[in-house]
Structure 1
């Protein structure tokens, strides 16, 4: 029996969601104010945002717990008065990274400079591909250790976990019938906006996956091309011997063959025009 004055459970849940959303929005305003104005005291933030100091402290406690901001002693210039110096709150590196800092624009500009400096055209594309390959080979060292430490049938899963540690939110699963193999799915791509302009980044990644897993792979979909998930098909290769996966790292700075494919190792298939079948 419902007590008099008791709100329905659905209304209570809706109220909780609203409060959480409001809190999150206000917390972002607090962090943004620190970004725009620099290290700030509780009083500074309260005055700028039209909040009580108690409310500001509550949001700051959460931001400090999440390592978005940190408390520091306020720097005093000239003669120092009595009492403890006021605390100011500043963004951490993690908190600063949460805001748009135009890294994508910087990366795209750098690749554009490489392409133009190499002469443009095919030579420029080859220079960008060489950079993409060298970058990916360096990044793949930790992936290689993870894959080589795994049993042959667990290598795709090991690669997915290593990618997730780098922020790619990757998973491995059996491919849908009638395909015989697995799908490596990357639900996030930190360089997706740049890869829209320079697909050499995706191609270099696919080639590395091929060498790490010791078999040809096929890129079915990419976030950079507008798909929801980067999906790579890894066919089942029962002939791969137990032990280490065959991984042959090309010499650093080596020029790619046409289309940036490798011919000395199991070759990654080109990205297809089809979309994610999942």
Structure 2
């Protein structure tokens, strides 16, 4: 007869699950440091939680170079969220439904814009530090998003041509279920990305809409670049080519 998990094991597993909820996407090494557990102990509990379907693995590339073997990061699965209770989700859903009933879709849009305002303020210095090259700005944005747990990456498509572009992908969304009912959140986030990058971007897919990842198309060929000052001051902007952007 195989013995079941001890009470101590169950308590430790609950601690690991709580840490994944609080810090995910998080690596096994980070969990071990936070919880004071050995790598072997952490992985044993992670394997059991994965087997039970309450956590899942997100593979992420290096934010700056994208090179090397993808890193494993753990996040709570939908089942895990459900088992831990979704009172917060019901409260938020009810509040937004009431806001929509009173103020209409515009009120929800304003609420969503306010939610992302802090993100935009924090990310702007990071993205601006990357310079005028849109691809570099996109990679800087991906790094900032990953730092906040969105498991983001930016990859080049089409190469060096007028159709060249970056695809910004996000593997995790903390408000996925809310955004499925209130798409204003996805729209507000997309508008923030456009302002941060200084170009018009297009959302190709979202986790909330059933996509595997949130994917944003960012043109880097012949584009319209808007500086921070130009974003704040109405007026004409100048169309420049990718080649012109790279000139000193």
- In which range does the TM-score fall when normalised by the shorter chain? 0.5 to 0.7
Task: Call closer, same or farther: CA 1:127–1:107 in 2, change over 3 Å.
Answer: farther
Tell me the CA shift for residue 27 of structure 1: 8.3
The equivalent residue for 1:133 is 113
The reply on whether 1:228 has 2:212 as its aligned counterpart is yes
Q: Of 155, 167, 187, which residue of structure 1 is paired with 2:171?
A: 187
Q: Secondary structure at the match of 2:208?
A: helix
What TM-score, normalized by structure 1, do the two folds share?
Answer: 0.52
Mark the runs of 5 or more structure 2 residues left unpaired by the alignment.
17-28, 38-74, 238-248
Partner SS state of residue 223, structure 1:
coil
Query: What is the match of residue 159 of structure 1?
Result: 141
Seen in structure 2, the aligned counterparts of structure 1 residues 119 and 234 have a Cα distance that, compared at 3 Å, is same
Matching residue of 1:109? 91
- 1:222 shift after superposition: 0.6
Are 1:156 and 1:184, in contact at CA under 8 Å, matched by a contact in 2?
yes
Secondary structure, in 3 states, of the residue corresponding to 2:143?
helix
In the superposition, relative to structure 1, how do residues 138 and 243 fare at CA in structure 2: closer, same or farther (>3 Å)? closer
Contact 2:145 2:151 in 1 (8 A): yes
Q: Which has the higher strand share?
A: 2
Q: CA deviation at 1:224?
A: 0.9
Instruction: Give distance in 1, aligned partners of 2:121 and 2:95.
Output: 27
| Distance of 1:131 and 1:162 partners within structure 2 | 23
Provide the aligned C-alpha RMSD in A. 4.1
- Stretches of structure 1 that go unaligned for 5 or more consecutive residues are 1-21, 36-61, 71-96, 250-262, 267-278
- Please, what TM-score do these two structures have when normalized by structure 2? 0.57
Work out which of the two has the higher radius of gyration on C-alpha atoms and give 1 or 2.
Answer: 1
The question of 1:209 aligning with 2:193 is answered yes
Give the distance between the partners of 1:106 and 1:265, measured in 2 at CA. Answer: 45
- Match 2:152 to one of 165, 170, 177: 170
2:34 alignment partner, one of 67, 70, 80: 67
Superposition deviation, residue 200 in structure 1: 1.0
Shift of 1:175: 2.3
Check 1:243–1:211 CA distance in 2 against 1; reply closer, same or farther (3 A cut).
closer
Task: Give me the whole-angstrom Cα distance separating, in 2, the residues matched to 1:118 and 1:239.
Answer: 36
Indicate conservation of the 8 Å contact 2:164/2:221, yes or no. no
Query: What does residue 130 of structure 2 align with?
Result: 150
Residue 199 (structure 1) aligned with residue 166 (structure 2): no
Indicate how the Cα distance of structure 1 residues 182 and 191 shifts in structure 2: closer, same or farther if over 3 A, else same.
same
Matched length: 176
Q: 1:31 — aligned with what?
A: 12
